[in-house]
């Protein structure tokens, strides 16, 4: 009996040690990505790690402008998946990204979410809409696109006092869901309950460039995977337009 218990203990210890060794040998890939990509990339992460047991993908989600600033400041990032081309272009100018190591992968659209029955942008002037959430335009691409659309619609100055600025597009959506605001301008992929789709011609094209920052075999392989036909099908299932 004692021998059996001893053998069982040794096997358990051996298994734990092997598991720890395997965990230590995994290669970490760090990806900074726009908050609007969180759901779809979570799905792709799970699929990729199942097929590549030696890879551990770590995502840092947030506003693309804030993430770009972190990269400039020296944050250890292997790939950057932005919700705006200008954030990547800026990093190319700064020498953080090589021009030929970035590719536009996706496109998106702006929508207005509200409990009110909105049929056009001018409905945001209604007295029933007292607070409107948008991402902070300086750092959140969705907020910059929203500002551009409101300016072209001659509504920015009229609605400015109603605006509530958020740290990213997901926070803007959350504010509507919790009743902290009466409306929010977010991406179409963030919600299935959009009242109003904002015309694309009112703002710059909403594109998502993917950039490879640190070049090694593992990073390169995941960079290619995020552009693969397999990944494209997943993007489309979440409502993104594949470029």
Please give the model's pTM, rounded to 2 decimal places.
Answer: 0.86
User: Per the structure block, which two tokens stand in for 44?
Assistant: 């792709």
Q: Which residue has the higher pLDDT, 6 or 161?
A: 161
Q: Enumerate domains of the chain plus CATH numbers.
A: 24-107+207-242 (3.40.190.10), 110-202 (3.40.190.10)
Question: Is 9 annotated in some ligand binding site?
Answer: no
Confidence grade of residue 7 (pLDDT, cut at 50, 70, 90): very low
Residue pLDDT, tens place only, 78-132: 999 999 999 999 999 999 999 999 999 999 999 999 999 899 999 999 999 999 9
Q: With contact defined as beta carbons under 8 Å apart, do 123 and 129 qualify? A: yes
DSSP state of 95: T
CA–CA dist 141, 144 (Å, integer):
5
Question: Is 188 annotated in some ligand binding site?
Answer: no
What contacts 148, CB < 8 A, 6 or more positions away? 202, 203, 204
% residues pLDDT > 90 (the chain): 86
Residue pLDDT, tens place only, 201-237: 999 999 999 999 999 999 999 999 999 999 999 999 9
CA–CA dist 77, 64 (Å, integer):
13
Question: Is 36 annotated in some ligand binding site?
Answer: yes
In this prediction, residue 192 carries a pLDDT of 85
Would the pLDDT of 3 be above 60?
no
Long-range CB contact pairs, 37-46, < 8 A, 24+:
37/61, 37/81, 37/83, 37/208, 38/170, 39/238, 40/189, 40/234, 40/235, 40/238, 40/240, 41/81, 43/234, 43/238, 44/225, 44/226, 44/231, 44/234
In this prediction, residue 195 carries a pLDDT of 74
User: Per the structure block, which two tokens stand in for 123?
Assistant: 């409905």
In this prediction, residue 15 carries a pLDDT of 53
Would the pLDDT of 241 be above 50?
yes
Rounded mean pLDDT, 72-80: 97
Q: With contact defined as beta carbons under 8 Å apart, do 31 and 213 qualify? A: no
In this prediction, residue 190 carries a pLDDT of 93
Identify any residues that bridge with 55 across adjacent strands, giving them in sequence order.
27
In this prediction, residue 17 carries a pLDDT of 45
């Amino acid at each position: 009996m004692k021998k059996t218990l001893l053998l069982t203990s040794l096997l358990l210890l051996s298994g734990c040690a092997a598991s720890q060794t395997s965990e230590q040998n995994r290669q970490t890939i760090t990806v900074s990505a726009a908050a609007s990509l969180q759901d779809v990339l979570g799905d792709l992460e799970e699929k990729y790690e199942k097929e590549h047991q030696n890879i551990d993908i770590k995502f840092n989600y947030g506003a693309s402008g804030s993430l770009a600033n972190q990269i400039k400041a020296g944050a250890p990032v292997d790939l950057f998946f932005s919700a705006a081309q200008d954030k990547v272009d800026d990093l190319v100018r700064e020498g953080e990204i090589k021009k030929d190591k970035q590719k536009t992968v996706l496109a998106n659209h702006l929508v207005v979410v509200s409990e009110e029955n909105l049929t056009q942008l001018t409905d945001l002037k209604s007295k029933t809409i007292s607070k409107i959430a948008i991402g902070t335009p300086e750092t959140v691409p969705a907020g910059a696109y929203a500002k551009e659309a409101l300016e072209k619609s001659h509504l920015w100055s009229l609605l400015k006092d109603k605006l509530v600025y958020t740290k990213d597009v997901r926070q803007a959506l959350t504010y509507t869901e919790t009743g902290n605001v009466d409306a929010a301008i977010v991406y179409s992929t963030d919600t299935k309950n959009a009242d109003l789709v904002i015309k694309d011609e009112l703002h710059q094209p909403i594109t998502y460039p993917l950039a490879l920052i640190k070049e090694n075999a593992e990073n390169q392989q995941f960079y290619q995977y995020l552009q693969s036909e397999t990944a494209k099908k997943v993007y489309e299932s979440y409502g993104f337009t594949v470029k």
